[in-house]
Amino acid sequence: MAYSETKVVLGGLAHIPIIIGFFYLIRRQYSFGAMLRTGKNALSEKIKTAPAKAAAPAKAAAPAKAAAPAKAAAKKPHADVPVNTYKPKAPFTGTVTENYSALKEGAIGKVQHITFDLSGGDPEFKYVEGQSCGILAAGEDAKGKPHRPRLYSIASTRYGDNFAGNTLSLCVRQLQYEKDGETINGVCSTYLCNLSPGDKVQISGPVGKEMLLPEEEDSNIIMLATGTGIAPMRAYLRRMFEPTEIEKHKWNFKGKAWLFMGAPKTANLLYDADFEHYKSKFPENLRYTKAISREQKNTKGGRMYIQDRVLEYAEEIFNMIENPKTHIYLCGLKGMEPGIDEAMSTAAAAKGLDWSELRPKLRKAGRWHAETY
Ligand code: FAD
Ligand code: A2P
């Protein structure tokens, strides 16, 4: 049977929807298979991701924009305090201007007050009260390597002992102990104690933000120091009560300061005359309580340590701690920490408080500052 040309064309055209339908079915089948294999439906993915895409910029932009000014306003306290201006690998070279004994006749051991000229640094070596610095003793260790730096609390204010803002002072006890019948001298403390004016010394830092003073003029400051732990406290007390300091910085301390100082003998009390002088000038603002371990006895007949004094004045100390403006600073022998903790626990318990809970809270609030070594 012969078909006309028109019939052939029309018949061919009639197959087109069938072919399209066939390809459509194959594509669908393939998509379904893929969905089964991956567990994902391309369409549902699109639906799910679409709003997310739209929301993303809003989510990122909106809170970020809102948070930025809040962050700037809540600038961390002491954010501007310099840290590590001079690293141990590239230290500053200071010059000794003074090195004298901080002890009186009859004292035990050797403790020196040492001052360094910091001028000429680029960048300048600046620090604030409560920071430490590193000292790199001259010479080499047993392996022929440079001595590792030792840390020392800075005993001067940012204005320095001469108020010119270009010096740094330390209070250093020479470490000495007996081993196998021989006297061993500490490397860095001996190096420092034996320096003479004009000597050049490698200094790194400043370091540390743990022991900084609060900025509020009406803060209360309780200080617990043993031996050279007095170094940062000397800087605080000069900042608070030294007339030229007050003129310089315009920070007029209005709170209560209470220094507890532990020393083996009266002759070992460091900077005692200065503190007595401040106390006589500012009796409303400064209390000064001494624990002289080898001259005074505690209630049990043992050596009088500062923790014994803490117990003696527990009631007043805790009344102060209850005030959120009160900060506590602890510095000196590592061994004093358990004793202080025990005394604080007893004192807290007498007020119905739990020291193990209170201490972390004080620390978190930035009111408990400890640096022991
Ligand atoms: P090293 O030669 O280093 O000898 C110390 C080592 O001797 C010890 O590690 C131990 O192994 C050994 N040793 C010590 N005693 C004995 C012993 N009785 N028996 C057997 N072995 C022993 N010191 C100050 O004088 N003033 C400060 O203001 C001051 N501030 C500090 C601040 C901070 C933050 C820190 C961490 C430490 C501070 N120190 C301070 C301590 C100082 O850093 C040194 O550790 C100290 O001067 C001793 O160093 P050295 O090089 O003389 O002794
Ligand atoms: P002591 O040596 O009589 O036992 P320095 O550094 O000038 O020697 O002063 C440290 C002071 O701290 C000394 O009076 C010393 O007393 C005292 N001390 C020693 N051990 C402790 C301790 N665990 N807790 C509190 N004070 C201590």
| Ligand 2 centroid distance, CA of 172 (Å) | 15
Active site residue 152: yes
Q: Of all helices (H) and strands (E), which one includes residue 273?
A: helix 272-281
Assess whether 371 carries a catalytic annotation. Answer: yes
Please give the pLDDT value at position 268: 98
User: Among residues 86, 133, 153, 159, which one is catalytic?
Assistant: 153
Q: Which residues have CB under 8 Å from 235's CB, separation 6+?
A: 129, 130, 154, 155, 156, 157
Per-residue pLDDT at 18: 61
CA–CA dist 217, 329 (Å, integer): 16
Is 305 close to ligand 2, i.e. is its CB under 6 Å away? yes
202 Cα: distance to centroid of ligand 1 (angstroms): 18
Which two tokens mark 313? 């004045």
> What pLDDT is recorded for position 19?
61
Q: How long, in residues, is the chain?
A: 373
**Quick check: CB of 267 below 6 Å from ligand 1?**
no
Indicate which residue of 152, 191, 236, 305 is catalytic.
152
Check whether 38 has a pLDDT greater than 80: no
Q: Can you give the pLDDT at residue 282?
A: 97
Cβ of 293 below 6 Å from ligand 2: yes
pLDDT in tens, 50-96: 333 333 333 333 444 444 445 556 677 899 999 999 999 999 999 99
DSSP result, 50-84: HHHHHHHHHHHHHHHHHHHHHHHHTPPTTTTS---
DSSP letter, residue 154: B
Evaluate: CB of 160 within 6 angstroms of ligand 2.
Answer: no
* Interval between CA 263 and ligand 2 midpoint (Å): 6
CB distance 373 to ligand 1 below 6 Å: yes
Q: Whose CA is nearest to atom 53 of ligand 1?
A: 186
Relative to the CA of 263, which ligand 2 atom is closest?
A: 14
Atom of ligand 1 nearest to the CA of 155: 28
User: Does the annotation mark 86 as catalytic?
Assistant: no
Percent of the chain residues past pLDDT 90, beyond the cut: 77
Q: Quick one: pLDDT at residue 161?
A: 98
Q: How far apart are CA 236 and CA 81, in angstroms?
A: 16
Note the pLDDT tens digit of each residue in 135-153. Answer: 999 999 999 999 999 999 9
Task: Using the Cα atoms of residue 360, residue 364, residue 367 and residue 369 in order, give the sign of their dihedral.
Answer: positive
pLDDT at 249 (0 to 100): 84
State the catalytic residue, choosing from 129, 245, 312, 371. 371
Q: What is the pLDDT of residues 8-28, one digit of tens each?
A: 555 555 666 666 655 555 454
Is 333 touching ligand 2 by the criterion CB < 6 Å? yes
Residue 251 burial (CB < 10 Å; 0-12/13-18/19+)?
middle
| Residue 324 · residue 365 · CB < 8 Å | yes
* CA-173 nearest atom, ligand 2: 6
pLDDT tens, position by position, 322-367: 999 999 999 999 999 999 999 999 989 988 899 999 999 999 999 9
DSSP labels for 294-317? TT-B-TTSSB--HHHHHHHTHHHH
Burial class from Cβ neighbours inside 10 Å (0-12, 13-18, 19+) for residue 71 reads exposed
Terminus-to-terminus CA distance in the chain, angstroms? 113
Q: Which helix (H) or strand (E) holds 135?
A: strand 132-136
